[in-house]
Amino acid sequence: MLRTSSYTIYVALPESTDEMLLVHGYSGAYDRVSRSVAEYLMSREPGPPPVPLYGEWSAEPALQRAEAGQQPSDSTLDVLTKRGYLTEMSVPEEEGHVARIIKKRHMRASQQQVNYIFMPTYNCNLRCAYCFQAHMRTQQEFRHLLRTMTREMADRIFAALPAIERQHGIEDDERTRTVGLFGGEPLLKRSRGIVEYIMDKAREMGPTQFWAVSNATELQAYEDLIGPDGISTIQITLDGPPDEHDKRRIHADGAGSYAEIAPNIDLCLARGARVAIRVNVDPANLADVPRLAEEIVARGWDKQRGFSVYTSPIVPNEHVGIEATFSTWHLDQAIDELRELHPSMRVVGRPDDGMQSLARTLIDRRAGLPSMKTSFCSAHTGMYIFDAFGDIYACWERTGDERVRIGRVLDGGEVEMNGWAKVWHSRTPASNPTCRKCRYAFQCGGGCAVLAEGQKGKFFTNYCDGFADRFRHSVAMAYMDHQAGVEVEEAVRVCDL
Ligand code: SF4
Ligand code: SF4
C-alpha cells in the first residue's frame, strides 16, 4: 500500500499558483509538479506531521487535500514512487531506514574529515558585550585561562596529530590540511611568535591552508604571514558603520576599534587574502547596516577580489537574552527588505545566502554535488580545537570549559580522549528523537547543539532556528535564479556563531 514518504518537502513557487516544487529528503530528488499532484501527495501523508518536542517547525504550505478518487496517472505514480515521494514502508520502517542512512553516511563523513583549530590564547584586547567568552576577561576566577600557548605545547599538539588522524582512518595522507586560528583574539601582536611557530610546524607536516577569525586590530603585525601562501582567509567583524561599530567592538577603556581595523582590511586585500566581513546584527543595529554598506562601497572594498560581507544574528548566550536577538529567518527577511530600500545593500549578504547556494545544487548539478548533511556542523565529525593548556574541544563555543573538553594532549603527544568525544561525535539527526522524524533532517543536520542545550537544557534535541521556512525559501529562490540564468556565488564564512 503506497503512502507519501514522511520526508517529502513541498515548496511553493512565488511565481506560480498552479505548480510547486517537491524535494525528497533522502533520495535527493527534486521535481516541479502540478498543484494537483502535490495535493494528492499531501492527501497520502500518514497523518499530521509529528509535532516537535519543542515548537519551531513551521507548517508546510497550505494545500487542499485531494478528493478521494482524484489520482494521478499510473505513469506519474510510477515516477513519484521511483523518486521516493511514495513509499511502501510504514512510518517506523521509514524512520529506521533514514536513521540507518544517516549513521552510515555520518561514519563515512567522520572518516574523511579532520579539521584543526589552534587557540593561541583566550585573551582578547576587545570587550564586546555579546562575547560568549566575556567572563574570562572580566571575572577574576577565570583569569588563569588567559595564558598564551608555549612552543612546547605546540610541539606536543603536533606530535598528537598523527594519532588523531589514525583514529579517523587517515594515514600518510597527502591531502592539504586546514589549520584555523581562533581565540580570544588569535592574532594579537604579542602572539606573533607562537602563531608563526604553529604555521611553520604545520608546514613541516605537509601542505596546509590557514584561516583565522580575527578582530583585525593588530593585523599589521602579521603582514608577511597574510596572503594566499599564508593565512589565506580571514573573517573580520564590523558591527556597523564607524560610529555604531565603535559602540559595540570596544577596547577595555571603552575606545572604539574601527579606525584600527579599516586599514588592516586594506592590508589583507592588498596581500591577496580573502576577507569575509561578518556583521553581527540584533534589533538595535539593524537600521545601521545600510550605512555600513555605503561605507564599504565608498572605500571600494566590494570591488576587490576575495572580499565579501555577510550578516549573522547575534545568538543568545549567558550574556545575551533571546528577546534581544533575531532568529536567522527573521534577520534574513529583514536584510531582504533593506535591500529593496537601499541599493548599496547589494554588497551585504543575507545569513542564508549559503543555504541558497546549497539549494542550487539540488536543482543544478553544475553548481556542485547535492549536499546531504548527517550532522549540523563539523563539531560532530572531525573538528579538533586545541587551547594553550593542551585541552581538546569539539566546538569553539564551549572552549575554556574543561568540563566539556573531549580530550587532552599529554606529555609526549599522547592523546587522551574522554566520554564527551563520543557525545559530540554521535550527535546526528538519527541520535535525536525529534530530528529523525523531520522531513528536513538531511538538509538541516539537527541544528546547533550549543543553542539546543542553551535553550532547552538538552544536548540531543532539535534547535530548528526557522529551518523549514528558510529551506523552502532558499529552494524557491535558487530555482528562480536557475531559471533566470543567475550564476551561483560562493559564500565565505567560518561558523555562524
Ligand atoms: S556553536 Fe553550534 S554550529 Fe558552531 S561549532 Fe558549535 S555546535 Fe557547531
Ligand atoms: S532536523 Fe533541523 S529542522 Fe528538523 S527538527 Fe531537527 S533541528 Fe529542527
Each residue of 101-152: pLDDT tens digit?
999 999 998 887 799 999 999 999 999 888 878 788 788 888 888 899 999 9
Q: For residues 211 and 497, what is the distance between their CA atoms, to the nearest angstrom?
A: 16
Q: What is the pLDDT of residue 286?
A: 97
CB 110 within 8 A of CB 383: no
Question: Does residue 275's CB lie within 6 angstroms of at least one atom of ligand 2?
Answer: no
- In whole angstroms, how far apart are CA 457 and each of 259, 288, 431, 451, 461? 41, 34, 16, 9, 9
CB 356 less than 6 A from any atom of ligand 2? no
Confidence of residue 496 (pLDDT cuts 50, 70, 90): very low
228 confidence band (pLDDT: 50, 70, 90): very high
CB neighbourhood size of 366 (10 A): 8
- Regarding the beta carbon of 396 and ligand 2, being less than 6 Å apart is answered no
User: Which of left, alpha, beta for 413 (phi over 0: left; psi -120 to 50: alpha)?
Assistant: left
Question: What band does 68 get if pLDDT is binned at 50, 70 and 90?
Answer: low
| pLDDT mean over 254-281 | 97
Type of residue numbered 318 = E
Task: Decide which of 191 and 465 is more confident.
Answer: 191
Longest dimension (CA), the chain: 75
Whether the CB-CB separation of 180 and 396 falls below 8 Å is answered with no
Q: Return the SS3 of 214.
A: strand
Report strand pairing: 307-313 vs 383-386: unpaired
In angstroms, the CA 31 to CA 12 distance is 12
Residue nearest to atom 2 of ligand 2 (CA): 446
Residue nearest to atom 1 of ligand 1 (CA): 397
CA gap 238, 250 in Å, rounded: 11
Task: Rounding to the nearest 10 degrees, give the CA dihedral for residues 379, 384, 385, 386.
Answer: 160
Q: Which ligand is nearest to the CA of 449?
A: 1
Separation of alpha carbons 128 and 124, rounded Å: 10
Protein residue whose Cα sits closest to atom 6 of ligand 1: 395
Pick the ligand that lies closest to the CA of residue 437: 2
DSSP 8-state secondary structure symbol assigned to residue 246: H
Q: With residue 91 as reference, give the H or E element that holds it.
A: helix 91-112
Residue 387 has pLDDT above 90, yes or no: yes
Tell me if 237 sits within 8 A of 278, measured CB to CB: yes
Which ligand sits nearest to residue 425's alpha carbon? Answer: 1
pTM: 0.90
CB distance 394 to ligand 1 below 6 Å? no
In whole angstroms, what is the distance from residue 155 CA to residue 144 CA? 22
435 Cβ below 6 A of ligand 2: yes
Distance 496 CA to ligand 1 centre (A): 8
**Which ligand sits closest to the CA of 454?**
1
Ligand 2 midpoint to CA 463 (Å): 6
**443 Cα–ligand 2 center, Å:** 9
Average pLDDT over residues 69-78: 87
d(CA 195, CA 440): 40
